[in-house]
Amino acid sequence: MDSIPPQTPEPVEFRIARPEEAPAVAGIINAAFRKAESFFVERNRIDLETVHSLMGKGNFLVAGEPPVLNGCVYVEIRGMRAYLGLLSVDPAQQNRGLGSLLMKAAEGYCARAGCNFVDLQIVNLRQELPSFYRSRGYVEQGTAPFPAEIKTKIPCHFIRMSKPLLR
């Protein structure tokens, strides 16, 4: 018997997270990163204070309505470039295409803001990520050190990637 892969419920709408949703944003990020990164780091990926700080510099695009968020991605406009990070999907909702839809929404947001490029960085130990981003047009641009204050079980670093946006 063939199995049919789960599908993302349609339609999926994305919106900018409101400040009062910061706890839900932190929760979805920590749940997603705990599942993906516990093999090399034992800590929450983000705290509430950092979410509030990021909300002051950029925006979290979210899917879902409180109290349940299914996914989010952080976008910060930096002139003609944008930074994208913290792509997170609720572990119960993963492998249904929501991450790809969040990426598309974030890139559209950046293009509408007038950006020519989107930059991101991934941890080199997450072997599934380079192909995920390469398939979306991102190209490696170098490396950056992992924050020294974060204790890891395995040495690691960031891979920096970038993509030109078509407008």
Nearest of 161, 130, 127, 129 to residue 144 by alpha carbon: 161
pLDDT tens-digit readout, 15-55: 999 999 999 999 999 999 999 999 999 999 999 999 999 99
Please tell me the pTM assigned to this model.
0.91
Instruction: Give the residue among 155, 158, 166 at the shortest CA–CA distance from 141.
Output: 158
CA gap 114, 80 in Å, rounded: 6
Question: Tokens in use for 116?
Answer: 């020519």
Which pLDDT does position 166 carry in this prediction?
79
Q: In whole angstroms, what is the distance from residue 88 CA to residue 91 CA? A: 9
Identify whether the C-beta of residue 64 lies closer than 8 Å to the C-beta of residue 15.
no
* pLDDT tens digits, 73-88: 999 999 999 999 999 9
**What beta strand segments (E) does 3-156 contain?**
14-16, 59-65, 68-78, 81-89, 117-123, 139-145
Q: What pLDDT is attached to residue 67?
A: 74
The DSSP bridge pattern shows strands 157-164 and 59-65 to be: unpaired
Across the range 154-163, mean pLDDT stands at: 97
Give the Cα separation of 99 and 71 in Å (integer): 8
CATH 3.30.110.30 fits 14-120, yes or no: no
For the chain, what are the domain ranges?
A: 14-120
Residue with tokens 């944003």: 25
